[in-house]
Amino acid sequence: MLVQFVSFLSLAASQAQALTTPAQAATSLGYLKATSDGKVIGYISKTLNANGEFEGVSPDKDSNDVAHRMLVSIDQSVTGPQSLVVENLAAADADWPFLGGIGGVNGTTIGSAGNYLLIGGTTQTLPGNPALRCGNTFTDRTGEQRNCASAFWVYNATTSAVTPQWTNDDGSVVVGDIGFVNEAFIITGGIEQFEAVWEDKVEWLNLTLQTS
Ligand SMILES: *[C@@H]1O[C@H](CO)[C@@H](O)[C@H](O)[C@H]1NC(C)=O
Ligand SMILES: *[C@@H]1O[C@H](CO)[C@@H](O)[C@H](O)[C@H]1NC(C)=O
Ligand SMILES: *[C@@H]1O[C@H](CO)[C@@H](O)[C@H](O)[C@H]1NC(C)=O
Protein backbone atom coordinates (compact mmCIF):
# COMPACT_ATOMS: atom_id res chain seq x y z
CA MET A 1 0.00 0.00 0.00
CA LEU A 2 2.75 2.40 0.97
CA VAL A 3 4.71 1.49 -2.15
CA GLN A 4 1.76 2.28 -4.37
CA PHE A 5 1.20 5.61 -2.68
CA VAL A 6 4.80 6.66 -3.22
CA SER A 7 4.74 5.65 -6.86
CA PHE A 8 1.50 7.61 -7.36
CA LEU A 9 3.20 10.69 -5.95
CA SER A 10 6.23 10.25 -8.15
CA LEU A 11 3.96 9.82 -11.18
CA ALA A 12 2.19 13.08 -10.32
CA ALA A 13 5.53 14.79 -9.92
CA SER A 14 6.79 13.61 -13.28
CA GLN A 15 3.54 14.69 -14.97
CA ALA A 16 3.81 18.13 -13.42
CA GLN A 17 7.36 18.33 -14.68
CA ALA A 18 6.30 17.34 -18.19
CA LEU A 19 3.68 20.10 -18.21
CA THR A 20 6.16 22.81 -17.34
CA THR A 21 8.73 21.68 -19.90
CA PRO A 22 8.74 24.17 -22.82
CA ALA A 23 7.33 22.91 -26.13
CA GLN A 24 9.98 21.36 -28.33
CA ALA A 25 11.54 23.84 -30.71
CA ALA A 26 10.23 23.28 -34.25
CA THR A 27 12.80 25.07 -36.35
CA SER A 28 12.07 25.62 -40.03
CA LEU A 29 14.36 27.05 -42.66
CA GLY A 30 12.88 29.28 -45.30
CA TYR A 31 12.96 32.35 -47.49
CA LEU A 32 11.13 35.57 -46.62
CA LYS A 33 8.76 36.10 -49.50
CA ALA A 34 7.40 39.59 -50.11
CA THR A 35 3.89 39.89 -51.51
CA SER A 36 1.80 42.90 -52.40
CA ASP A 37 -1.94 42.31 -52.67
CA GLY A 38 -1.21 38.59 -52.83
CA LYS A 39 1.27 38.88 -55.71
CA VAL A 40 4.91 37.84 -55.15
CA ILE A 41 7.19 40.82 -55.71
CA GLY A 42 10.41 39.29 -54.42
CA TYR A 43 12.36 38.06 -51.41
CA ILE A 44 14.64 39.58 -48.82
CA SER A 45 18.17 39.09 -50.10
CA LYS A 46 21.09 37.82 -48.03
CA THR A 47 23.12 40.74 -49.42
CA LEU A 48 23.70 43.99 -47.57
CA ASN A 49 24.08 47.35 -49.31
CA ALA A 50 26.80 49.91 -48.53
CA ASN A 51 24.78 51.16 -45.51
CA GLY A 52 24.45 47.68 -44.04
CA GLU A 53 20.77 47.27 -44.97
CA PHE A 54 19.42 44.09 -46.53
CA GLU A 55 18.57 44.36 -50.20
CA GLY A 56 15.74 42.68 -52.06
CA VAL A 57 15.82 40.14 -54.85
CA SER A 58 13.14 39.73 -57.48
CA PRO A 59 12.68 36.57 -59.56
CA ASP A 60 11.65 38.84 -62.47
CA LYS A 61 14.97 40.67 -62.50
CA ASP A 62 17.42 38.02 -61.26
CA SER A 63 17.38 34.59 -62.84
CA ASN A 64 19.66 33.38 -60.05
CA ASP A 65 17.33 34.75 -57.35
CA VAL A 66 17.08 31.52 -55.32
CA ALA A 67 20.80 31.60 -54.59
CA HIS A 68 20.56 35.26 -53.57
CA ARG A 69 17.60 34.94 -51.19
CA MET A 70 18.08 35.19 -47.45
CA LEU A 71 17.59 31.90 -45.64
CA VAL A 72 16.27 32.29 -42.11
CA SER A 73 15.46 29.87 -39.35
CA ILE A 74 12.23 30.38 -37.49
CA ASP A 75 10.79 28.48 -34.53
CA GLN A 76 7.24 27.52 -35.50
CA SER A 77 6.33 26.66 -31.90
CA VAL A 78 6.84 30.26 -30.70
CA THR A 79 3.62 32.30 -30.85
CA GLY A 80 5.09 35.59 -29.58
CA PRO A 81 7.97 37.68 -30.91
CA GLN A 82 11.21 35.88 -31.70
CA SER A 83 14.59 36.52 -33.32
CA LEU A 84 15.25 35.13 -36.79
CA VAL A 85 18.74 33.85 -37.56
CA VAL A 86 20.08 34.68 -41.02
CA GLU A 87 21.60 31.34 -42.00
CA ASN A 88 23.45 32.38 -45.15
CA LEU A 89 24.96 35.71 -44.14
CA ALA A 90 28.44 36.53 -45.44
CA ALA A 91 31.07 35.21 -43.04
CA ALA A 92 32.44 38.74 -42.58
CA ASP A 93 29.13 39.75 -40.94
CA ALA A 94 28.96 36.84 -38.50
CA ASP A 95 28.92 39.26 -35.55
CA TRP A 96 25.38 40.37 -36.55
CA PRO A 97 23.54 37.15 -37.45
CA PHE A 98 19.96 38.23 -36.64
CA LEU A 99 17.41 39.91 -38.90
CA GLY A 100 17.05 43.10 -36.92
CA GLY A 101 15.37 46.48 -36.87
CA ILE A 102 17.72 49.46 -36.63
CA GLY A 103 16.66 53.00 -35.75
CA GLY A 104 16.12 55.39 -38.64
CA VAL A 105 17.11 59.10 -38.58
CA ASN A 106 14.56 59.79 -35.84
CA GLY A 107 15.19 56.88 -33.54
CA THR A 108 13.37 53.70 -32.67
CA THR A 109 9.82 54.84 -31.93
CA ILE A 110 7.47 54.22 -34.84
CA GLY A 111 3.82 55.08 -35.32
CA SER A 112 4.09 58.84 -35.55
CA ALA A 113 5.65 61.50 -37.76
CA GLY A 114 6.69 59.02 -40.44
CA ASN A 115 9.40 57.49 -38.29
CA TYR A 116 10.86 54.25 -39.55
CA LEU A 117 13.37 51.48 -38.87
CA LEU A 118 15.98 50.04 -41.20
CA ILE A 119 16.40 46.29 -41.61
CA GLY A 120 19.91 44.90 -41.27
CA GLY A 121 21.94 42.39 -39.33
CA THR A 122 22.05 42.79 -35.55
CA THR A 123 23.08 41.03 -32.39
CA GLN A 124 20.34 39.34 -30.36
CA THR A 125 18.04 41.23 -28.00
CA LEU A 126 15.23 40.03 -25.72
CA PRO A 127 11.60 39.78 -26.88
CA GLY A 128 9.33 42.63 -25.78
CA ASN A 129 12.18 45.00 -24.95
CA PRO A 130 12.61 48.43 -26.54
CA ALA A 131 15.61 48.85 -28.82
CA LEU A 132 18.95 49.42 -27.18
CA ARG A 133 22.54 49.94 -28.22
CA CYS A 134 23.30 46.73 -30.07
CA GLY A 135 25.87 45.85 -32.65
CA ASN A 136 24.46 46.11 -36.16
CA THR A 137 25.52 46.25 -39.79
CA PHE A 138 24.36 49.86 -40.31
CA THR A 139 26.60 51.12 -37.51
CA ASP A 140 29.40 48.90 -38.79
CA ARG A 141 29.20 50.36 -42.31
CA THR A 142 28.47 54.00 -41.50
CA GLY A 143 30.03 54.53 -38.07
CA GLU A 144 26.71 56.09 -36.92
CA GLN A 145 25.42 54.82 -33.59
CA ARG A 146 21.86 53.50 -33.84
CA ASN A 147 19.82 51.44 -31.39
CA CYS A 148 18.36 48.17 -32.58
CA ALA A 149 16.43 45.02 -31.64
CA SER A 150 16.09 41.51 -33.06
CA ALA A 151 13.29 39.67 -31.23
CA PHE A 152 10.20 41.29 -32.72
CA TRP A 153 9.17 38.94 -35.55
CA VAL A 154 5.89 37.09 -35.02
CA TYR A 155 5.26 33.94 -37.02
CA ASN A 156 1.70 32.81 -37.74
CA ALA A 157 1.82 29.05 -38.22
CA THR A 158 -1.57 29.03 -39.99
CA THR A 159 -0.80 31.63 -42.65
CA SER A 160 3.06 31.53 -42.54
CA ALA A 161 2.92 35.33 -42.19
CA VAL A 162 5.97 36.94 -40.57
CA THR A 163 4.96 40.24 -38.98
CA PRO A 164 7.02 42.83 -37.11
CA GLN A 165 5.66 43.53 -33.63
CA TRP A 166 7.88 46.38 -32.52
CA THR A 167 8.28 47.68 -28.96
CA ASN A 168 8.69 51.47 -28.92
CA ASP A 169 10.97 53.29 -26.49
CA ASP A 170 7.97 53.99 -24.18
CA GLY A 171 7.03 50.27 -24.14
CA SER A 172 4.04 50.62 -26.47
CA VAL A 173 3.80 47.89 -29.09
CA VAL A 174 3.15 48.61 -32.77
CA VAL A 175 2.45 46.10 -35.52
CA GLY A 176 4.70 47.48 -38.24
CA ASP A 177 4.11 48.02 -41.94
CA ILE A 178 6.96 46.91 -44.18
CA GLY A 179 8.01 48.87 -47.23
CA PHE A 180 10.64 48.48 -49.93
CA VAL A 181 12.25 51.88 -50.58
CA ASN A 182 15.40 52.74 -52.51
CA GLU A 183 16.28 49.03 -52.83
CA ALA A 184 16.09 48.38 -49.07
CA PHE A 185 13.41 47.62 -46.49
CA ILE A 186 11.87 49.81 -43.80
CA ILE A 187 9.38 49.21 -41.01
CA THR A 188 7.02 52.00 -40.13
CA GLY A 189 4.03 52.38 -37.86
CA GLY A 190 1.65 53.92 -40.37
CA ILE A 191 1.64 53.90 -44.17
CA GLU A 192 -0.22 57.21 -44.55
CA GLN A 193 2.02 59.03 -42.07
CA PHE A 194 5.12 57.72 -43.78
CA GLU A 195 3.92 58.75 -47.22
CA ALA A 196 2.97 62.21 -45.93
CA VAL A 197 6.55 62.85 -44.72
CA TRP A 198 8.74 61.13 -47.31
CA GLU A 199 8.64 61.62 -51.06
CA ASP A 200 10.33 58.34 -51.91
CA LYS A 201 8.34 55.74 -53.80
CA VAL A 202 7.49 52.82 -51.50
CA GLU A 203 6.34 49.33 -52.38
CA TRP A 204 4.35 48.15 -49.33
CA LEU A 205 4.47 44.42 -48.74
CA ASN A 206 3.76 41.51 -46.44
CA LEU A 207 6.27 38.79 -45.59
CA THR A 208 5.62 35.08 -45.41
CA LEU A 209 7.96 32.20 -44.73
CA GLN A 210 8.40 29.98 -47.76
CA THR A 211 10.04 26.83 -46.45
CA SER A 212 13.06 25.81 -48.46
C1 LIG B 1 -0.91 42.75 -45.94
O2 LIG B 1 -1.78 41.87 -45.26
C3 LIG B 1 -2.87 42.54 -44.66
C4 LIG B 1 -3.63 41.53 -43.84
O5 LIG B 1 -3.91 40.40 -44.59
C6 LIG B 1 -3.71 43.20 -45.75
O7 LIG B 1 -4.78 43.89 -45.16
C8 LIG B 1 -2.85 44.16 -46.54
O9 LIG B 1 -3.58 44.69 -47.62
C10 LIG B 1 -1.63 43.46 -47.08
N11 LIG B 1 -0.73 44.44 -47.68
C12 LIG B 1 -0.23 44.28 -48.90
C13 LIG B 1 0.67 45.38 -49.35
O14 LIG B 1 -0.47 43.34 -49.62
C1 LIG C 1 13.43 64.09 -37.23
O2 LIG C 1 14.05 64.90 -36.27
C3 LIG C 1 14.48 66.15 -36.77
C4 LIG C 1 15.28 66.86 -35.70
O5 LIG C 1 15.08 66.32 -34.45
C6 LIG C 1 13.26 66.95 -37.21
O7 LIG C 1 13.65 68.17 -37.75
C8 LIG C 1 12.53 66.16 -38.27
O9 LIG C 1 11.31 66.80 -38.61
C10 LIG C 1 12.19 64.77 -37.77
N11 LIG C 1 11.64 64.02 -38.86
C12 LIG C 1 10.60 63.22 -38.69
C13 LIG C 1 10.20 62.45 -39.89
O14 LIG C 1 10.05 63.12 -37.63
C1 LIG D 1 -3.02 33.89 -38.00
O2 LIG D 1 -3.64 34.59 -39.03
C3 LIG D 1 -5.03 34.35 -39.14
C4 LIG D 1 -5.53 35.04 -40.40
O5 LIG D 1 -5.15 36.39 -40.40
C6 LIG D 1 -5.70 34.86 -37.88
O7 LIG D 1 -7.09 34.60 -37.93
C8 LIG D 1 -5.10 34.15 -36.67
O9 LIG D 1 -5.62 34.70 -35.48
C10 LIG D 1 -3.60 34.33 -36.67
N11 LIG D 1 -3.03 33.50 -35.62
C12 LIG D 1 -2.34 34.03 -34.63
C13 LIG D 1 -1.77 33.07 -33.65
O14 LIG D 1 -2.17 35.24 -34.54
Residue-wise pLDDT for 102-152, tens only, equals 999 999 999 988 999 999 999 999 999 999 999 999 999 999 999 999 999
pLDDT of 35-44, one tens digit each? 999 999 999 9
Q: How far apart are the first and last CA of the chain?
A: 56
State whether the beta carbon of 189 lies less than 6 angstroms from ligand 2: no
Ligand 1 atom nearest the C-alpha of 38 is 14
Confidence at residue 21, expressed as pLDDT on a 0 to 100 scale: 55
Q: Could you give the CA distance from residue 129 to residue 105 in angstroms, rounded to a whole number?
A: 20
State whether the beta carbon of 197 lies less than 6 angstroms from ligand 2: yes
State whether the beta carbon of 112 lies less than 6 angstroms from ligand 2: no
Q: Report how far ligand 1's centroid is from the alpha carbon of 194 (Å).
A: 16
Q: Report how far ligand 3's centroid is from the alpha carbon of 29 (Å).
A: 21
What is the per-residue DSSP string for 120-179? EEE----TTPPPEE--BHHHHHH----EEE---EEE-TTT-EEEEEEEPTTS-EEEPEEE
State whether the beta carbon of 156 lies less than 6 angstroms from ligand 1: no
Is-above-0.75 flag for pTM?
Answer: yes
